[in-house]
Amino acid sequence: MPAIPFIIVDGYNLILQTTDRRRLAGKGNLARARNSLIGMLARRLSLGEQKRTSIVFDSASQQTTSDTRQPIDHAMTIWFASDYENADAMIIDLLRKTSSPRQTIVISSDHEIQQVARQRRCQIMDSLDWLESLEKRDEIEPKKDEIPGLDPLESARDRILDEDEKNYWLDEFGISPDEEE
C-alpha cells in the first residue's frame, strides 16, 4: 500500500477557482467560503489524508497572530500567512523547507507556486483538476477509513441503549427513571 502523500493546498486559490468573486465581497462571505472549503475537504479526504494535509490562506485581519498555525476543526492543518507577504510566499517557503518533496502534492493554479514545486520535484495538481479527482474518487470508492453504507452519526443516533447505558444517561441529566416517559 503506497504511503499517503503530504498535501499542501493554496486555500484561496482553490476558493477563487470555484466561486464567483462577487459572492465573496460581502461581510463574512470569505470566512464562510473558507469554512465551507475546509468542511468539504474534511468530508472528501480520509482521516489519514487529512492528517497530512495543510491548507494555507492569506492572513485575515481577525486571524493575524504571531503563530501562523491556527487550530481549526478537522485533522487538517490550517495556516494563515500572517508572518508572510501572502499565502503564496508561505507555500513557497514550506516547499523550500520540506524534507520530502517527492511525497508532497501541491494543489494550486498559481504558476509561481507550481514552478517552485517543479524545481523541488513535488507533484503538482491544478486546483480544479484536484477537486474533480476527489469528486470522481467519491463516486468510485468511499473514504478509506469509513465502513461503506454506515453513517457514524446516524448509526449512533439510532442505536438502542442497553439498560445500564440508559440509566447512566438518565442519572447524568438528573432524570429519575420514573420521569423518563
Each residue of 21-61: pLDDT tens digit?
777 777 778 888 888 899 889 989 999 999 999 999 998 64
Choosing among 1.10.3470, 2.30.130, 3.40.50, 3.30.70, the CATH entry for 6-141 is 3.40.50
Flag whether pLDDT at 157 surpasses 70. Answer: no
- DSSP-assigned beta bridge partners for residue 53: 7
Flag whether pLDDT at 145 surpasses 70. Answer: no
Domain ranges (residues) in the chain: 6-141, 151-181
Report CA 21 to chain centroid distance, whole Å.
21
Sign of CA dihedral 85, 87, 92, 95: positive
Whole-model pTM: value is 0.70
Each residue of 86-138: pLDDT tens digit?
999 999 999 999 999 999 999 999 999 999 999 999 999 999 999 999 988 87
To which H or E segment does residue 106 belong?
strand 104-107
The grid coordinates listed for 135 are 469528486
Length of the chain: 181
H helix runs in the chain, sequence order = 11-18, 29-44, 47-51, 87-97, 111-119, 127-140, 152-158, 163-172
